[in-house]
Structure 1
Amino acid sequence: MDQYYYWIQNKAFLIFIILCNLLGTIYGYYWYMGQLKETEWYFTPFVPDSPTATLFLVIALIAIVLNKHFKIVECLAFITLIKYGVWAVVMNIFTFLELGEITGIGVMLCISHAIMAIQALLFFPLFKIEIKHLLMTAVWVFHNDVIDYVYMQYPVYSMLSQYIQHIGYFSFWLTVFCFSLLYLLIKKNITFD
């Protein structure tokens, strides 16, 4: 455990993680370029969910390296990293089942998105999130769910489009789970102070 405390608070390690996530964020936005070209401008911020989640983490960690805290960004990072990390892993496994085969790109997406969710838990003790930040973050995340599944701006998985109502339902409860988890962690007051 001492090694964990050392690495998680080590600025050189945090800078390395920031750079890795920055590269992943850039790649993620590139991945969405095709869909974004067909998206109305006012929906654009709500389409590339995963790279926006990693962007929140990059901003939060840069602030921590500079001995600052952007608490709302930390909250957004935690919730969206878990939500979209888990969501993408489940969707890719579902895609494997639909296709009847496991694809290399699908495995890469499962691994990279699982890492997103793990990072939320890994860095949580560095965050200074308060209950009030849950409420502000809920506005963004539930609004994003409405944009995704009412206005149909969700990340495109064409082979799963026939299941969109089920995916929207799963996404809603995944959001509830993420907020419940964060609420419990805040109540336990897990920090390095």
Structure 2
Amino acid sequence: MSISFLWSREFLSKRSILWLLLVCNVLGTIYGYIWYGAQMADTVEHGYIWQVVFVPDSPTASLFFSLALLLLLYPPRNLGGALFQQFIEALAVVTSVKYGIWAVAMIFAGQAQGDVLAWQDWMLVASHTAMAVEALLFVRLFHYRWTALTGAIAWTLLNDTVDYTYGVFPWLPGPLYDDLPAVQLFTYLLTLFSGFAGWIFMKYGNPKQR
């Protein structure tokens, strides 16, 4: 068996693989919300409760991907369900690529300015890299169209706007707070890049959508 079989459509579409990835992502999602627990509580105490939705960026991305896997296992049978599936798939791709790259970039940017990395940081590097990679692998199985992708990009840009307007962006390594405008710009540009990547893979990655 060629090693390339491990990222082929045939292998990735196996129900056993989908279930394995679903379990891993659900566990990661739960852990992510626990990780953000302190910041979510702080947001409720010092901000507005509606802002909490925009705080746990990475676990929400993982939640979208988990839902996308579940909908691959149990495809909807009506138009409304199919449109919902497309939107969830587009959100899964855009947010997983965006926050997967973003978290790794922030960790190493903090290290470059003197932050000392702990084992948790390396765990986050591995898990967030996996987020981006799995999204780009599984996009070949997804069915979203440009309308759903546009909505996913709009939602992610809204998330960015709320994050940096109300200060509910993910807590950063200490040295990066002096570079907040640059972090904000990088975040917006990364959303656009992730949307573009989602479009490229939609157009060229899935032969059924050509």
Tell me the equivalent position of 1:17: 21
Matching of residues 136-155 of structure 1 within 5 Å: 136-155=151-170
Matching of residues 102-181 of structure 1 within 5 Å: 102-159=117-174, 160-181=176-197
Matching of residues 21-32 of structure 1 within 5 Å: 21-32=25-36
Tell me the equivalent position of 2:56: 48
Taking only the aligned residue pairs, the percentage that are identical comes to 33
Q: Is this contact kept in 2: 1:126–1:191, CA < 8 A?
A: no
1:41-74 deviation per Cα after TM superposition (whole angstroms, max 9, x unaligned): 1101111000000000111110111134511000
Tell me the equivalent position of 1:182: 198
Letter in 2 for 1:80: T
Q: Which runs of 5+ in 1 are unaligned?
A: none
Q: Is this contact kept in 1: 2:140–2:202, CA < 8 A?
A: no
> Residues 191 and 21 from structure 1, CA distance in 2 versus in 1: closer, same or farther, beyond 3 angstroms?
farther
Partner Cα distance (1:42, 1:100) in 2: 32
- Displacement of 1:2 in angstroms is 4.4
Q: Is this contact kept in 2: 1:126–1:192, CA < 8 A?
A: no
Partner Cα distance (1:20, 1:156) in 2: 24
Q: CA RMSD in A?
A: 1.6
Partner Cα distance (1:137, 1:165) in 2: 24
1:98-148 deviation per Cα after TM superposition (whole angstroms, max 9, x unaligned): 235332111111111000000111100110010111221122111001011
Tell me the equivalent position of 1:59: 67
Q: Is this contact kept in 2: 1:49–1:84, CA < 8 A?
A: yes
Partner Cα distance (1:13, 1:27) in 2: 21
Letter in 1 for 2:188: F
Secondary structure, counterpart of 1:157 in structure 2: coil
Instruction: Please tell me whether residue 73 in structure 1 is matched to residue 88 in structure 2.
Output: yes
Secondary structure, counterpart of 1:117 in structure 2: helix
TM-score (norm 1): 0.94
